Structure formats: structure tokens, C-alpha cells
Amino acid sequence: MVERPFHHGNLRAELLDHAEAVLREDGADGVSLRDLARRAGVSHGAPRSHFVDRQALLDALAVRGFERLGERLREVGAVDPDRAADATFEEAVQRVARAYVDFAVQDAALMELMFAAKTDHASAAVERAAAGLFATFDELLDQHRPDQPMDPHDRQRFGLLFAAAVQGTASLVGSRRISADQGAALVDDATGILVRTFFPTLRPAPAGERPPAAPRSAG
Amino acid sequence: MVERPFHHGNLRAELLDHAEAVLREDGADGVSLRDLARRAGVSHGAPRSHFVDRQALLDALAVRGFERLGERLREVGAVDPDRAADATFEEAVQRVARAYVDFAVQDAALMELMFAAKTDHASAAVERAAAGLFATFDELLDQHRPDQPMDPHDRQRFGLLFAAAVQGTASLVGSRRISADQGAALVDDATGILVRTFFPTLRPAPAGERPPAAPRSAG
DNA sequence: ACCTGAACACCGTTCAAGT
DNA sequence: ACCTGAACACCGTTCAAGT
């Protein structure tokens, strides 16, 4: 009844919420366990009950990031049953790619955490979450092309190429090497090329939206 | 005559050298001004004479990284006068892309520093160095296709798509999301698709090396 | 199981002072 | 111009102790 313990099981989540806010504001360097404890109104040793060390908290943030990004991509990439598969496929790929880059723009520091360079030990939880994200790429592919299942090898290639394109754009935008607008255009361009390379029969050249020339001389 | 000052003008460089070693070993988090001062045998306040704060030192490392990567790419991407331009072009692009990814594998923490998410202020020196790296992409394009100058718009597109592909692969490999071997195969695949998309007349389909089929012997 | 609070070693940064 | 060394505020981490 009384609010004595102040935190009855939700301290972990509250710490993560505060951490996410600080991360967005000041970057990963600004995330301090003592500061988070202060914000939550607990002693500086309290976080230790939920995170063995600072890295464990950052890893938990990364896991959350992978999960949230995956959810968003699944929302955005859902099949539209009212439209022809062909017409909707490239659009869906492009929407997913755009959502990926948008995420990186809005949460650049979180994205950096999710793809941080691993010098030594890797967190198993983070690796699992990351693998889950990449698995959704494959799911989306299968969802949209049930009539035309891809060769497993090509499916993996497409997935990796897609991942490299969106992650590369995300990295360039997140580090401010290019603008958000440039990133959106870039990722559109990349997905267009990918789709046309792997599905040359789709969209028989609407004239005006093609690269310099057809990747395959369609005649 | 005596070696009293111990450091006569080279302390800055020595600090950076130590920092680079620590960076490789323990990541950016392990880089501490006080530790670097200790390694150089100076007082903990001495680095302040060369770097206004810790971030300034990290920025200087990033600048060095961009310069070193640019040099390497220029070495690797140099034109081979003994060969036909067509035959050597895709190979050169692929060599440059590979060198980029190799750099990211060997210096993952440095790469992370070079493409760190900017929450607030950006260092002008880092931006200049980064711009220099992207300029070398364009230089390499011009070097290899003097006979067939690209449309400026397509040149910029190619440069951005190339940058996204190599940086994306670098990020995936540096964060251990994929292996170094997968990264090499991926970047080969991506550059192959890019070259064939922008230069469809090059390499008129040697049958068996096209996208939907084998990517390239990954090793 | 969860949290407190003291203790320890280590930081970045500032600054008056030396050379 | 470059470096020293004290001072300050802030960390992460450990740990005995409380509930």
C-alpha cells in the first residue's frame, strides 16, 4: 500500500527509460549509472542489482533498440492485400529501407550502440537481438514473394546487400557525413537497384525512374 | 644537450601514437588523457597543451584515420597502365572496396570514431578529412574512365552508392554482425552490381558471373 | 531479492605557477 | 610556448550491511 520501496520491480525499466533519454540528448558518453540512479531517486549502488556493470546497461539499450527497430520495420513492411504483389514489393522494400534510415536519424546514438565495434566480449543477448533483426529482412522477403520463392543463396545475398545498403546509409547519415535528405534519396536509389537486379522482370521500365541505363538491357 | 624537456615538439604525435595503440587494444573507452600522459612520461596536465579536451584528441585520431584510409585507397586504386581500362576498372573498384572493408576490420574502433554519431558540435577538421576521403572516390572514378566521363549526377550517385556499400559492410563487419569473410564476399557482390548497373556495356556478361547466380568465389 | 552507503581507484578539467 | 602539480567534481566498481 505505502510507496516505501519506491521501486517494486520496475527500477530496471525506469533506468533504461532514463538512459534512452540521456542517450538521445548527450550520446553514450553521457550515460552514467550514478546519474541514472539519481534520476530514479535511488542510491548509486542500486543499478548494480539489475546491471552487473555499465556495459550491461548499454547492451540492454542495444537489445531494446534492435527490438524496436524490428517492430517498426515489420509494421512498415507489412503486405498490402489490396494490391498486386509485384506493384507492392519494391515499394515495401523501399518503405522498410526508409524506416531503417529514419530510425538511424532519430536515434543516432542508439544506432551507434547497436553497431558498436566489439573489441572483446560480445553480449549474447545483443547478438540474439541483432540476429532477430536480420531474420525479419528474410521474413519480409518471403511475405512479399510467396508466389516466387527465392533461391536460398540469392535470398541470403539479397538480405546481406540490403543490410549493407541501409546500414551504410544509416552510418553516413548518423555521422552527418550526408544529410537526412541525401540519405533518403540514397537508400531509395540503392533499393531500386537491388530490386531491379534480383527481380529484373518486375516493373518493366516506367521510363524516367531508371538509373542511367537498364541494369539489364530489357530490349 | 641534456634530455631535460624530454619532449621537444613531438609530444602531440607521441600521444596520438599511444592513443592509436590503446584504441586498437581497448576501444575508445580505454583512451584516457591521464593514461596517455603516463605512457609518454609527462604530467597529467601536459596533454592539455596540445588538445583542449579529450574529444579533441579523439577528433585528431579520426582525422588521422581518414587520411590513412584515403592514402591506402589511392594506393590500391591506382590505374594499371599496362591493362585496358575496361578490364581494370571493375577490379580497381573492387580492390578499393576491399581495402576499405579491410581497414574497418583491422581498425574497427578507429573506424567507429571516424563515423561516430554527432550529437552536438562537429569538428571542422574531421569534416574536412571526411570530405577528402569521399573526394578520392570521385578521383578514382575519373582516373579510370577518362575516355568515358560520367554524367555529374550519375557520378555523384555512384559515389554515394559506393560509399554506402563499403561503409555498410564495414559497419556490419566491425560490429561482428557478419564475419570478415562474409564482408569481403558482400562488398565484392555490391561493387559488381554497382559497376554493372552504371556501366552495362562493360564486361558483356561472361555467363555464370551474373548477380542472380554465383556472387564470386568467396574464398 | 533488492537496495543503502562508505570506500577505493580512476577520470576530465581548471588553473596558478614554473621554465 | 610548453609543462607541472594541486584541486575539484564526477565516475565505475566493490562490498558489508540493512530490509
Chain B closest-CA separation from residue A191 CA (Å): 10
Could you tell me the distance in Å between the CA of residue A50 and the C1' of nucleotide D14? 15
Strand C atom within 7 Å of A5 CB: yes
Cα gap B96→B118, rounded to integer Å = 27
The residue type at B36: L
Residue-level pLDDT at A66: 98
> In chain B, which residues have pLDDT < 70?
1-8, 86-87, 146, 203-219
Which of B164, B189, B212 lies nearest to residue A169, judging by beta carbons? B164
Query: Which of A48-52, A57-61, B207-211 comes out lowest in average pLDDT?
Result: B207-211
Cα gap A187→B163, rounded to integer Å = 12
Nearest-by-CA chain A residue for B26: A119
Residue numbers in A 23-42, CB below 7 Å of strand D: 31-35
- The larger pLDDT score, comparing residue A219 to residue A116, is at A116
pLDDT digits (tens, 9 = 90+) for A133-173: 999 998 888 888 767 778 889 999 999 999 999 999 999 99
- H helix or E strand, kind and range, residue B32: none
Could you tell me the distance in Å between the CA of residue A124 and the C1' of nucleotide D17? 33
Give residues with Cβ within 8 angstroms of A123, minimum separation 6. Answer: A55, A56, A59, A62, A63
Residue-level pLDDT at A78: 87
Residue-level pLDDT at A6: 56
Residue-level pLDDT at B45: 97
Strand D atom within 7 Å of B49 CB: yes
Q: What is the 3-state secondary structure (H, E, C) of A31-93?
A: CCHHHHHHHHCCCCCHHHHCCCCHHHHHHHHHHHHHHHHHHHHHHHCCCCCCCCHHHHHHHHH
Q: Quick one: cell of B7? A: 619532449
Q: Which long-range contacts (CB under 8 A, 24 or more apart) does B65-72 make?
A: B65/B107, B65/B110, B65/B111, B65/B113, B65/B114, B66/B114, B66/B126, B66/B129, B66/B130, B66/B132, B66/B133, B67/B129, B67/B132, B68/B103, B69/B100, B69/B103, B69/B114, B69/B133, B70/B132, B70/B133, B70/B136, B72/B99, B72/B103
Residue-level pLDDT at A143: 84
Could you tell me the distance in Å between the CA of residue B36 and the C1' of nucleotide D2? 17
What are the C-alpha distances in Å from A109 to residues A99, A154, B118, B122? 16, 32, 8, 14
Residue-level pLDDT at B148: 75
Residue-level pLDDT at B122: 82
Nearest-by-CA chain B residue for A200: B212
Mean predicted lDDT score pLDDT of chain A: 88
Residue-level pLDDT at A149: 79
Contact B112 A111 (CB under 8 A): no
Residue numbers in A 44-73, CB below 7 Å of strand D: 44-45, 48, 52-55
Chain B closest-CA separation from residue A49 CA (Å): 23
Residue-level pLDDT at B121: 76
Taking residue A2's Cβ as centre, other Cβ atoms within 10 Å add up to 4
Q: Is the pLDDT of residue A36 over 50?
A: yes
Q: Nearest-5° angle of CA B144, CA B145, CA B149?
A: 145
- The nucleotide minimizing the C1' distance to residue A31's CA is D11
Residue-level pLDDT at A7: 63
Which of A115, A186, A216 lies nearest to residue B171, judging by beta carbons? A115
Give residues with Cβ within 8 angstroms of A160, minimum separation 6. Answer: B178, B182, B186, B189
Q: What pTM value is reported for the model?
A: 0.90
> Chain D positions under 7 Å from a protein CB?
2-7, 10-16
Residue-level pLDDT at A38: 97
- The nucleotide minimizing the C1' distance to residue A12's CA is C2
| Most B-contacting residue of A172, A178, A201 (CB-CB within 10 A), to test interface | A172
Give residues with Cβ within 8 angstroms of A116, minimum separation 6. Answer: A62, B112, B175
pLDDT bucket at A203, cuts 50 / 70 / 90:
low
Residue B29's nearest CA partner among A36, A58, A170 is A58
pLDDT bucket at A8, cuts 50 / 70 / 90:
low
Residue-level pLDDT at A88: 82
- H helix or E strand, kind and range, residue A110: helix A108-114
Task: Sort out which chain B residues have CB atoms less than 8 A from A111's CB and list them.
Answer: 117
Residue-level pLDDT at B204: 55
pLDDT digits (tens, 9 = 90+) for A104-114: 999 999 999 99
Q: Is the pLDDT of residue A207 over 90?
A: no
Could you tell me the distance in Å between the CA of residue B47 and the C1' of nucleotide D5? 14
Cα gap B36→B16, rounded to integer Å = 9
